[in-house]
Amino acid sequence: MLSQSEIGLVSMLQNTGTISKIVLAILLVLSVWSWGIILGKALLLRKVRSESDTFWRIFRKGKSLSEIGTAVEALRFTPLVAVFNSGAPMTGKKGPNTNALERVMQRTATSQLTSLESRLTFLATTASAAPFVGLFGTVVGVLTSFLDLSNAETASLKAVGPGIADALLATAFGLFAAIPAVVAYNQFVYRLRNIGGQMDDLQAEMLNMAEDGQ
C-alpha cells in the first residue's frame, strides 16, 4: 500500500507539463543506462582484480616463461595475460631488442586499458550533464508557474506551490542520475590507474628478465 508521500509523488508525476515529462524521461534514460554500465563495469573490474592477483602468484612462482604462459591460459579477464603474452616470445630469445620489447608490451597495455575504459565516457557525460538537464526542467517549470500565477485572479502560495514543486522535481531527478555516475566514475578511474600500474610493473619485470638473458 502506497504511503501519502508516495501517492503525492505519483500524482505530481502525472500532472507534470510536457516539457517536464520530456526532461524527466531523458534523466530516467540516463540513470538507467548509467546503472547498467556501473553494474557491468563493477563486476568486470572485480574479476580483473581477482585474476590479476592470481596472475602475480603464478608469475612469482613460475620457473620459466613457458611454464607461466601455460598456467595463466585459464585467466580470461586480467589484461596482464595479454601484456605477458605479447612480450614472452621476445623475452625468451637470446639477445632480445629491449626497445622493441618495450614498445610491443606498451602498445598491448594501452590497448587493454582502452578496452577497460570503454563506456566510462558516458558516465562522465551523465555526471556533468544530468544536473544541467534537471536545472533546465526546473527553470522552465518555475517560469510556467509564474506565468500561470500572473494570469490567476488571486496570488497565493497554494496556487504557485504545486508548480514550484513540479519544477524542483526535475532538479532532484538530475541529481539522482548524476551522483551515482560521478561516484562510480571516480572509483573506476582509480581502479584503472591501479591496473595500469600493474601493467607497468609487469613490463619492468619482463624487461629485467630480457636484460638478464632469462
144-202 residue pLDDT tens: 777 766 665 555 555 566 667 777 888 889 999 999 999 999 999 999 999 999 999 99
Instruction: Name the more confident of 5 and 92.
Output: 92
| pLDDT level of residue 94 (50, 70, 90 thresholds) | low
| pLDDT level of residue 128 (50, 70, 90 thresholds) | very high
SS (HEC) of the chain: CCCHHHHHHHHHHHCCCHHHHHHHHHHHHHHHHHHHHHHHHHHHHHHHHHHHHHHHHHHHHCCCHHHHHHHCCCCCCCHHHHHHHHHHHHHCCCCCCHHHHHHHHHHHHHHHHHHHCCCHHHHHHHHHHHHHHHHHHHHHHHHHHHHHHHHCCCCCHHHHHHHHHHHHHHHHHHHHHHHHHHHHHHHHHHHHHHHHHHHHHHHHHHHHHHHCCC
39-78 residue pLDDT tens: 999 999 999 999 999 999 999 998 888 899 999 999 999 9
